[in-house]
Amino acid sequence: MRVSKYISKWFPLFALPTLAAFILAFVIPFGMGLYLSFTKFQTVDNAQWVGLQNYVLAFTENSDFINALWFTVRFTVVSVVSVNICAYGLALLLTQALKGTNVFRAIFFLPNLIGGIVLGYVWQLLINGVLQKIASQDLTYNSAYGFWGLVIVVNWQMIGYMMIIYIAAIQNVPGEVQEAAGIDGASFFSKLIHVTIPMTASAVTICTFLTLANCLKLFDQNLALTGGAPQNQTEGLALNIFRTYYNIRNHQGVGQAKAVVFFVFVATIAFFQLRFTRSKEVDG
């Protein structure tokens, strides 16, 4: 019982810095944010209580918020599926005994190190260049261009990172299990479906969670690549909140209310996703 005695004695001291940081940087701002969503304010210290008005305005004033919500949902569904399938595929490929796998792993990971704004502008140039060549149009012509443009950018950026996680998981699948399945006559695909994927389910949980959360919260790439054009049709939730807060007069409170709705939305979806994928995990 010596160890647990030490833990209980030292626990407060070691938890203190993290706890203090968590309270200062998260709990207090979050509480303030929640409070401000019920007020009309210009700065954080001249708030006036207005009750639920901001929440009502967020949904009723115009349809932009609902449109942004729908855009974000569509974008997230497509991106989460495509990022994870591509990342898993690459991970499988790069765990085979092939020449130069390490170089490829590094190359695929690199895009993840570039900031979202830079990526957005670079891809804007690339996509505009292509569109001008083939259709003499640009990203602002059609919301479909912006939608698929964003999917491409986010895929390009996130696949490498997810791939690294999948590679680590696949390498942890015991060789004996694979071999036993092979001796039993399992093909590559039945090994994949019945052995590898179930054995790497915890990585799937992590990767879907990360992609889901990042896609829902997408901001930089959205701002830089399309800026909402045309006509706010490619405006995601985060960008809509930002613009409500800064670009409409006396709407800081409404922006704040939208942000609270946004938080609840993202947290709920992430919670159910975690529960669902966890239930598919098996002990290795």
Partner 1 sequence: MTIKTRIVGAGIALALALSAAGCGGSGEEQVYFLNFKPEVAEVYDKIVAAYEEETGVKVKVVTAASGTYEQTLSSEIAKRNPPTIFQINGPVGYGSWSDYTADMKDSDFYAALSDKSLAVTSGDGVYGVPYVVEGYGIIYNKAIMDKYFAMPNKAAAANSIDDINSFAHLKAVVEDMQAKKADLGINGVFSATSLSPGEDWRWQTHLANVPFSYEFTANGTDVSGTPAEVTFQYGDNMQQLFDLYLNNSTTEKGQLGSKTVDDSMSEFALGQSAMVQNGNWGWNQVAGVQGNTVQAENVGFLPLYMGMAGEETQGICIGTENYFSINAKVSPELQQQSLDFLYWLFSSEKGKQFVTEDLKFIAPFTTFTDADQPNDPLAQSVSAWMNKPGVTSVSWDAMKIFPSQQWKDGFGANLLSYAQGSMEWSAVSEDAVTSWKAQAEAAG
User: How far is 200 from 195, CA to CA, in rounded Å?
Assistant: 9
Tokens found for residue 211:
């992609």
- What are the distances in angstroms from CA 88 to CA 60, 192, 197, 200, 204? 42, 11, 9, 10, 9
Based on the shown chain and the rule CB under 8 A, indicate whether residue 61 belongs to the binding site for partner 1: yes
> Residue 43 Cβ, how far from partner 1 at the closest point, in Å?
4
Dihedral sign of CA atoms 172, 175, 180, 185 in order: positive
Based on the shown chain and the rule CB under 8 A, indicate whether residue 251 belongs to the binding site for partner 1: yes
- Cα distance between the two ends of the chain: 30
Tokens found for residue 222:
């959205």
Query: 67 and 232 in contact (C-beta within 8 Å)?
Result: yes
Give the number of residues in contact with partner 1, rule: CB under 8 A: 36
Select the residue interacting with partner 1 from 120, 149, 160, 228 (CB under 8 A).
228
User: Would you say 69 or 239 has its CB closer to partner 1?
Assistant: 239
Based on the shown chain and the rule CB under 8 A, indicate whether residue 236 belongs to the binding site for partner 1: no
> Could you write out the DSSP letters of every residue in 256-282?
HHHHHHHHHHHHHHHHHHHHHHHHT--
Quick one: which of 128, 81, 269, 95 has its CA closest to 196?
A: 95
Based on the shown chain and the rule CB under 8 A, indicate whether residue 124 belongs to the binding site for partner 1: yes
Three-state DSSP string of 165-226? HHHHHHHHCCHHHHHHHHHCCCCHHHHHHHHHHHHCHHHHHHHHHHHHHHHHCCCHHHHHHC
User: How far is 162 from 206, CA to CA, in rounded Å?
Assistant: 9
Based on the shown chain and the rule CB under 8 A, indicate whether residue 248 belongs to the binding site for partner 1: yes
Based on the shown chain and the rule CB under 8 A, indicate whether residue 33 belongs to the binding site for partner 1: no
User: Would you say 132 or 171 has its CB closer to partner 1?
Assistant: 132
Select the residue interacting with partner 1 from 39, 143, 232, 256 (CB under 8 A).
232
Q: Per-residue string for binding with partner 1, 128-157, x by CB under 8 A?
A: x---x---xxxxxx----------------
Binding window for partner 1 (CB under 8 A); candidates: 44-52, 90-98, 152-160, 199-207: 44-52
> Residue 237 Cβ, how far from partner 1 at the closest point, in Å?
16
Based on the shown chain and the rule CB under 8 A, indicate whether residue 44 belongs to the binding site for partner 1: yes
Select the residue interacting with partner 1 from 1, 3, 13, 97 (CB under 8 A).
13
As a 3-state breakdown, the chain gives helix, strand, coil percent values, each rounded to 5, of 75, 0, 20
Binding window for partner 1 (CB under 8 A); candidates: 70-78, 165-173, 214-222, 239-247: 239-247
Select the residue interacting with partner 1 from 30, 42, 66, 276 (CB under 8 A).
42
User: How far is 71 from 151, CA to CA, in rounded Å?
Assistant: 12
Binding window for partner 1 (CB under 8 A); candidates: 42-50, 88-96, 184-192, 195-203: 42-50
Based on the shown chain and the rule CB under 8 A, indicate whether residue 8 belongs to the binding site for partner 1: no
Select the residue interacting with partner 1 from 7, 15, 19, 20 (CB under 8 A).
20
List residues near partner 1 by CB under 8 A: 13, 16-17, 20, 42-46, 57, 61-62, 124, 128, 132, 136-141, 226-232, 243, 246-252
